[in-house]
Amino acid sequence: MKAIWLEQSDGETRADLREISEEELGEGDTTVDVTWSSLNYKDALAITGKSPVVRSFPMIPGIDFTGEVSSSSDHGWAAGDRVVLTGWGYGETSRGGLAQRARVRGDKLVRLPASMEPRTAMAIGTAGFTAMLCVLALERNGVAPGDGSVLVTGAGGGVGGFAVALLARRGYTVAAMTGRGDESDRLIRLGANEIVERSEYAAPGKPLLKERWAGVVDSVGSHTLANACAATRYGGTVAACGLAGGMDFPASVAPFILRGVTLAGIDSVSYPMAGRDAVWQRLAEDLSPEAVNDLAGTVQLDDVIPRAYELLAGTVSGRLVVAVQ
């Protein structure tokens, strides 16, 4: 079977597409014939070696995948069951989904919603799952569609695009922030009501800015996140889920103690299994096939390594679904 295979020597990561054996799949009680995976930002970092996201070598990258169970000693699964996996360190500490077969722990798998096609599940993948967690955090903290505009930063990326589509579907007024002028039409199709230029929040700002946003979904971090917090209205919520612009947070406590702003951290990697089925069901209900198709292009397993470099260079829009078989 084919797989993207990562090895490291003298601190340098080497990525190859190669044939592997069953023994090289790693440990687990469930084997899945992978039909679709995807190329995420974290996968690109692993493949290029630009960041030490891989904790153990050799490694098969791929933080998410979907497919059919071929065999399992976990009583919850039988051959032929359609499953999806995101997170839990696969592609980082355990061998992941950019291969034609994966061996995983059965208790980390989620049953694919009956109404969802496997390619759609990977078009959504970790990015859409993360975006849904952000929307749920806004809802949980009382940010309602009639409260005002919700800002989505990094809207040209996978998480941002799904956040725009999910919020629009729920009736929110959405402001999409991007630095790519050619993304505007696509974001409007997804449901954005306003396009905000990325440069507005890219530099250091004041501790408090004019109250503008009822809520924020941020996948950028750094100055963008700090400025978004500073411009959030009284009682608003900011869901922070990414660091595309940096891991630092050069902000003050002013928005939190003077305006009662909530900063909600979003982690999709270790999100409890007990809640995952419900999140996937919401994704199946809230995302139209048209929105999903507009957010994802398809590449072959052979194309993954060069496309990883393009993803880090910022020349890829939306999601890249990988046809594994």
Flag whether pLDDT at 317 surpasses 90.
Answer: no
pLDDT in tens, 40-82: 989 999 999 998 899 999 999 999 999 999 999 999 999 999 9
Residue 258 shares a structural domain with residue 309: no
Domain limit, last residue, from 247, 265, 283: 265
**Residue 287 counted as domain residue:** no
**Residue 274 counted as domain residue:** no
Flag whether pLDDT at 158 surpasses 90.
Answer: no
- Give the tokens for residue 318: 């939306």
Flag whether pLDDT at 10 surpasses 90.
Answer: no
Flag whether pLDDT at 170 surpasses 80.
Answer: yes
Q: What is the pLDDT of residue 75?
A: 94
Residue 32 shares a structural domain with residue 100: yes
**Residue 184 counted as domain residue:** yes
**Residue 120 counted as domain residue:** no
pLDDT in tens, 256-287: 999 999 999 999 999 999 999 999 999 999 99
Residue 36 shares a structural domain with residue 82: yes
**pLDDT-based confidence at 183, cuts 50/70/90?**
confident
| Whole-angstrom distance, CA of residue 5 vs CA of residue 20 | 9
Give the residue from 158, 154, 179 showing the smallest Cα distance to 318. 158
Q: Write down how long the chain is.
A: 325
| Whole-angstrom distance, CA of residue 18 vs CA of residue 3 | 6
Flag whether pLDDT at 181 surpasses 80.
Answer: no
Domain count, the chain: 2
The parent domain of residue 145 ranges over 125-265
CATH number at residue 309: 3.90.180.10
Q: Which of 215-224, 245-254, 315-324 has the lowest mean pLDDT?
A: 315-324
Flag whether pLDDT at 39 surpasses 80.
Answer: yes
CA dihedral 152, 156, 161, 164 (to 10 degrees): 30
Q: What is the pLDDT of residue 21?
A: 95
Residue 98 shares a structural domain with residue 214: no
Q: What is the pLDDT of residue 305?
A: 97
